[in-house]
Amino acid sequence: MLCSKNYRFALLLIFNLAGLSAFAAKVDSLEVPSASMNKSYKAAVVLPDSYVNSKNKAAYPVLYLLHGASGHFRNWLTSTPDKMLVKNLADQYNLIIVMPEGEVYGWYLDSPVNPESKFETHIINEVIPKVDATYRTIANKNGRVISGLSMGGHGAMYLSIRHPELFCAAGTMSGAMDMNWSKFRISESYYQSLRDRFQKLLGTPDPNSEIVAKHSVVNMVEAIKKNGLAIVIDCGVDDFLIDVNRELHQRLLYNQVPHDYIERPGEHTWEYWQNSLPYHVLFFYNVLKKNGSTVN
């Protein structure tokens, strides 16, 4: 009799687990042709369970979530300690989450010296139109937000500043808000590595050059103020990029630009970003709700 009860319990547990997996967010791997770089890249797309099983065919808001340097498009799905984090957030907030490719050092901008690195054009002209054509999205700025970590944090801010017609809110986690790597709290060996990488991307080994300043978010405060996008900035107090985040925060305060700014204990780690992402998604959800762009 005991064995029979254990057998029935095991079957019940299996059925319950199967039911849970049946009502979980779905991950697509979307192929995105890039005419700008003459190749194709992939993007990971997390579709909430309500989207997959919806009968009313509602249009959904979209979060573009960018990876950091030395990373690739699947990082947010594979590198967080909790591998269900992005899927659970998509389900919790009825949000499509798109994670595009930015290459190991593309910085989500169009390189002035490397024609094979045009990731601003790729995201804006190729990824977003492809996503809107493939899925039921709210295909305007009222239903589109963007965030990212480190290089992706700078990319999220950079793209939203330059294309305010496409986004209603932007966020950055541990973002390199100034591309002047001499301001980073890093070792000499890492400094040399960054110098070589930036020379390939921007064509200069000088961190104080005009081209570096031109592409740095910290120098775009006037545009941020003019655009009026909702902004959340988040960085750990022990992060090697904390100084450039504080600098942007102070410039925004001085220019009376509304924004949310968060510092908490933490370093440049996936544990920190796993903790940060739910705050960003909640921030975005409130903006989307105000716009009437949420799905109940």
In the predicted structure, residue 168 carries a pLDDT above the cut 60: yes
- 3-class SS at 137? strand
Arithmetic mean of pLDDT, 282-292: 98
Share of the chain above pLDDT 70, in %: 92
Q: Residue 56 has what pLDDT? A: 78
Q: Where would I find the H helices in 135-241? A: 151-162, 188-202, 210-214, 221-227
Arithmetic mean of pLDDT, 155-172: 98
Tens digits of residue pLDDT in 12-38: 444 444 444 455 899 999 999 999 999
- 211 assigned to some structural domain: yes
In the predicted structure, residue 53 carries a pLDDT above the cut 90: no
Q: Residue 8 has what pLDDT? A: 53
Task: Give the CATH number, domain containing residue 77.
Answer: 3.40.50.1820
Calpha distance 254→28 (Å, rounded): 43
Number of domains forming the structure of the chain: 1
Q: Where would I find the H helices in the chain? A: 2-22, 49-52, 75-78, 85-93, 119-121, 128-134, 151-162, 188-202, 210-214, 221-227, 242-254, 270-290
- 12 assigned to some structural domain: no
- 115 assigned to some structural domain: yes
For residue 170, the cross-strand partners are 146, 231
Calpha distance 212→120 (Å, rounded): 16
- 21 assigned to some structural domain: no
Q: Residue 55 has what pLDDT? A: 79
Residue 270 CB-density burial (10 A; 0-12 exposed, 13-18 middle, 19+ buried): middle
Q: Residue 3 has what pLDDT? A: 46
Q: Which domain holds residue 141?
A: 26-290
For residue 145, the cross-strand partners are 63, 169
- 161 assigned to some structural domain: yes
- 119 assigned to some structural domain: yes
- 226 assigned to some structural domain: yes
In the predicted structure, residue 237 carries a pLDDT above the cut 70: yes
- 123 assigned to some structural domain: yes
Share of the chain above pLDDT 90, in %: 90
